[in-house]
Structure formats: C-alpha cells, structure tokens
Amino acid sequence: MPQAADTARVVILTVDDDPGVSRAVARDLRRRYGESYRVVRAESGESALQALRELKLRGDLVAVILADYRMPQMNGIEFLEQAMDVYPGARRILLTAYADTNAAIDAINVVDLDHYLLKPWDPPEEKLYPVLDDLLRAWRCSDFRPVPSTKVVGHRWSARSSQVREFLARNQVPYRWYSSEEPEGRRLLAAAGQDGQRLPLVITPEGGTLIEPDAPELAARVGLATTPTADFYDLVVIGGGPAGLGAAVYGASEGLRTVLVERSATGGQAGQSSRIENYLGFPDGVSGAQLTDRARRQATRFGAEILTAREVTGLEVGGAARTVRFSDGSAVSAHSVILATGVQYRQLEAVGCADLTGCGVFYGSALTEAASCQDQDVYIVGGANSAGQAAMYLSRVAKSVTLLVRGTSLSASMSHYLVQQIEEASNITVRAGTVVQAAHGTDHLEQLTLRDVASGRDERVDAGWMFVFIGAAPLTEWLGGTVLRDERGFILAGPDLTADGRPPADWELDRPPYHLETSVPGVFVAGDARAASAKRVASAVGEGAMAVMLVHRYLEQS
C-alpha cells in the first residue's frame, strides 16, 4: 500500500442504483482499502458525475471507478464515458450480471474498460480484491496527477488535422478536438492570434501554441520522450509494434539496458486494431490500444526507455558497436539491435486517392474518425483480419459497411471467426471480386468508382468514408545494403541466410547465424519485417522474446 500522505485525498468511487448493493460494495471496499483510500459511493450516474466534478474542483485524485451497468437514465457505460472526461487516468470497472457480458465486451472499446466483474463478487477476497489490487498498483505506477488536456483546432476534412489527432490518440495523449467552424474553435483561434488559414492549431496544457506541427515537435511539446538518456546501450529495439514491445519487455526485465525507438506511435498495425479476439489470454477480446498501453507500461516499469517520433535512417557496424542513425543527424549505439520495424499498408493506386488521403480516405483503422461515421455508409478495402476487425467495429455505428475484396471470398485470407461474425452482421455487405478504380471529391471524398473484376463493368457509388487495408510492405528501405533482404524487402535471418548449411559469403564468424539473426552478427529481426513471418500478434510477441534470448547468447560469446 502507498503511504498515507500520498493517498489521504485519493478516492475509490462506486455507483449503483440499488441502495443495498451500493452499500455492500462500499462496505467491502472500506474493509480492505479504507485506511489508505477514501471510498465514495453514489446511487445514480448523475450524482456520481456531480461527485466527480466536486472532487476535481477540490483537487482530489480518483484512482478507481466501479459502475453498475444496469442503471436507469444513464447506464454504466454511458456514465463511464462521461467520467473519463473528468478523470481520464482513473481505472474503470463495470459491474454486470451474467446476461450483460456482451455489454461489458463492448465497453472495452467504448470506454477502454480495464475490467468487468460479474455480480455477485463474493467472496471479495477471491473475486474483487485481486482485481482492485492490480488496478491500484497500475494507477500508482502511472502519471495519475490531473493533467489539463491538449486542445486541437482544425478542419474536419484536413489531412494534417487527421494526422495530428491520430498521433495523439495512438500515443494516448488526452486531447480535445474543436472544429475551426464552431464558436469555441473560433475563440481559440482568435486567442492564439490565428485566422484559421494554417491548421491544425495545437494548444498545449501549459498554453503554448503549435501551428501545423510535425510529429517530433508535437511529441516533444506534449511530454513524450524523444531523446535517449545515454549514448550507448546493451540493446536498441527499432519499432514499437508487438514484436518491438515484446523485445523491450523481455530485454529490460532481464537486465539489458534497453531503448526502443518508434517513428510514430507504439502498437504498430496491431495498435490500430479495434478488437483482437484470437490473442492468448483475452477470451473476450482486447482492443489494440489497450494491449499496447499495457505492454508500454510494462516495458517502462522494467526500465526500458521508449522514444517516440524518431525516424531511423541508417544502421552502421563499427567493431562491436552497432550504431543507429536518426533523421536529425544524431545517433545512438549498442552492443546489439533488434529490427522490429513491421510493415505498412500499401497505398491504393486508384485515381484520386492520393489527393483525398486524410479527407475521407484513410489507411488503417483511423479510430479517431469512427465517431464521425455515425449513420454513414462506409467502405472498407481489403480481405485480411485487419479489414475484418475494422468492419465489425465500424458496423456498430455506421449505417452500412461494404467490404471490397479483390479475391473471390474472405476465407482465403481472413480468420474463420471473423468471417463468421461478418456473415452474421446485418449491415455488412461483402463485394467479392471488386476493386476501387477511382475516388472522387473536391475537399473530401464524395464518390467511388468500383470495378467488377470478372466483367470489367464500372459502377459509381456515393461514399464519404473509405478505410484501406491492402497488402503490406516492410519498412526496411533505410537499411540499404546493411542486411540481406528478399526481393520484396523483407529481412532474411537464420536458416533463410544459409545455403547448404553454409553461412553467407561475407559472414565473419565461425558459427552460423542464430535463428533470428540477420546477415550482420548482433543484429536480429522479429515480427512482420522478417521474411516468411506468421503476421500474427502472438507470433510477433514471441519472436521479440526469442530475439532477446538470442541477444544474450550473442553477448555471452562476444
């Protein structure tokens, strides 16, 4: 437990409309946590929100909020959505009956739920306290002090505004969005001395202003680490997707001085997934953002440094050192390097798509845009899992979702469970053998020209939203001739480097390369960037862990 001085004003809040249940929850909480935390209870969502606002005004901290799902006027999910605006750092638990399990699963995405508990929770020693202990421990390890949110003022159909919002959201930086056309947006522009010609405007919590900031400038001003604290490490991990985060967790936890370098936001493509249902240990699914947040916190808790918005442009070998060079000319060196750069979605080459990217045409799930798709007709291009997950997520808010697939069916490239869910969704239509020929619109997407592959016939349809998930290209161009890659740019490693059991011609060691070791000793690859990898979250995490084991073996023999 934390010291009393640290928690004298820290609150655990519980809300349930049944007075008997409300008193029972509060009783169990006080019995376990009453000496260290203040337990506040409420019997309606509105009274609980009022209590939160009063706590905020007094400067109190709220560590955990427990809300019953079935409440009149305002159910538990609706309450937690509003409570997040007041205390975004508080851990959130939904109390449900067995029949409400689906609602709890939905809440994972809607309010980034930390946990849900089935009622009754007796005995609390087994079903309530272990959950609360873990959440309180995570809250204490986080920056739980109230932080005024960043403000972003931009145009709805501005590509750069969309990029800034996506960057902040994926890096889990709290922000509020204001359209430049609404009164409050105009007031903020006037206060910053701007006429709205250059957008977006970003206002930091301290009151500083940024006009059309690039990623490194934005990251530095909103409190993300961008500069390494040392010049030399045991391990540099390049890429913050599942493989990179897995490597950072295992490297730091096993005593290696570890730094992870990410060019945009941790999580990679998996971090943009609305829901991952086939990852071990999450039978009810988990959002990519939630999984990423937990992995990032886990890595930093073990001591790994995580640098954001740093573009890697080169890898150099000098004796025992491996030097990673950044786009700004700086560099960091290490005994070993793990390449976990992942892949990016290929660009759709249809006429007009490039001009409308960020203005109705999006690559990846662009979860920040999902709210704007309410009651809209949405098109998704792609036939693999990422496209299927996005279709299921957007189908909850969109009027209709049309999945455009070049192949003859989904079964060839999509997991069976997703195919089944899509078939059961009443507002999802799959158009097989269909490609996008052109995108039309002035300042935003308005129509699409679709072509039937078999007949060659074109059809023009109204469309304001298109999300693209086609193919994957490795982010390895910057490696140049440093490590061997295949014809598509994927990195060769281990057995794929050898011919007849012999290592590559320029291999300088007596032993053959380790399983995930590239053509450069001490440089390893993990995850989607590796040639012939499985392209699954679980396998990427496993390869990140395995690469660290091989790093240890390499360091022991160096």
- Percent of the chain at pLDDT exceeding 70: 93
pTM (2 decimals)? 0.73
The pLDDT assigned to 144 comes to: 63
pLDDT tens-digit profile of 512-546?
A: 999 999 999 999 999 999 999 998 899 999 999 99
CA distance 511 to 117: 53
* CB of 201 closer than 8 Å to CB of 188: yes
CA distance 101 to 444: 39
Q: Has residue 359 been placed in a domain?
A: yes
CA distance 487 to 496: 13
- Between 500 and 419, where is the model more confident? 419
Q: Has residue 222 been placed in a domain?
A: no
| Residue at token pair 């976990």 | 340
Q: Token pair of 396, please?
A: 């909850």
- Give the closest residue to 516 by CA, choosing from 466, 550, 472: 550
The pLDDT assigned to 256 comes to: 98
Q: Which domain holds residue 394?
A: 353-468
Residue 103 has pLDDT above 70, yes or no: no
- The answer to whether residues 386 and 405 belong to one domain is yes
The distance from CA 361 to its chain's CA centroid, rounded to whole angstroms, is 20
- The answer to whether residues 376 and 305 belong to one domain is no
What is the overall mean pLDDT for the chain? 90
Residue 390 forms beta bridges with which residues?
none
The pLDDT assigned to 23 comes to: 93
Q: Has residue 223 been placed in a domain?
A: no
Q: Which of 120-124, 158-162, 185-189 has the lowest mean pLDDT?
A: 120-124
CA distance 187 to 202: 14
Instruction: Please state, as a whole number, how many other Cβ atoms lie within 10 Å of the Cβ of residue 329.
Output: 7
User: What's 386's domain CATH number?
Assistant: 3.50.50.60
Residue 7 has pLDDT above 50, yes or no: no
Give, in order, the Cα–Cα distances in Å from 69 to each of 25, 28, 36, 101. 14, 19, 27, 10
Mean pLDDT of 296-317: 96
Q: Token pair of 444, please?
A: 């935003």
- The answer to whether residues 11 and 134 belong to one domain is yes
- The answer to whether residues 333 and 360 belong to one domain is no
- Between 126 and 426, where is the model more confident? 426
pLDDT tens-digit profile of 324-369?
A: 999 999 999 999 999 999 998 889 999 999 999 999 999 886 667 8
Q: Has residue 169 been placed in a domain?
A: yes
- Between 86 and 70, where is the model more confident? 70
- The answer to whether residues 177 and 322 belong to one domain is no
Q: Has residue 65 been placed in a domain?
A: yes
Mean pLDDT of 387-413: 93
The pLDDT assigned to 530 comes to: 97
Q: Has residue 281 been placed in a domain?
A: yes
End-to-end CA distance of the chain: 44
pLDDT tens-digit profile of 464-490?
A: 999 999 988 899 999 988 999 999 999
- The answer to whether residues 205 and 96 belong to one domain is no
Three-class DSSP category at 215: helix
